[in-house]
């Protein structure tokens, strides 16, 4: 899954991965980390310095995606 978002004021944020199963996430080419729906962590922290004014790319690799 690839998403592009427009940000006018980059700041620290969290990405909620609770609806995903198991995999990895990248923000602007930087590996943000792993996620897994068994917890205990469902939100991944993204430092504001990794985001930029304008277009930002988010890639999600869900290893268990069945769709």
12-63 pLDDT per residue, tens: 999 999 999 999 999 999 999 999 989 888 999 999 999 999 999 999 999 9
DSSP, res 32 = E
CB count within 10 Å of CB 64 equals 10
Give me the pLDDT at residue 26, please.
98
Give me the pLDDT at residue 39, please.
80
- pTM of this structure: 0.87
């Amino acid at each position: 899954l690839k998403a592009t978002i427009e940000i006018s004021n980059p700041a620290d944020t969290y990405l909620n991965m609770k609806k995903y199963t198991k995999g990895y996430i990248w923000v602007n080419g930087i590996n943000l980390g792993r996620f897994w729906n068994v917890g205990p962590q469902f939100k991944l922290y993204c430092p504001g310095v990794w985001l930029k004014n304008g277009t930002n790319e988010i890639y999600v690799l869900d290893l268990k995606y069945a769709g």
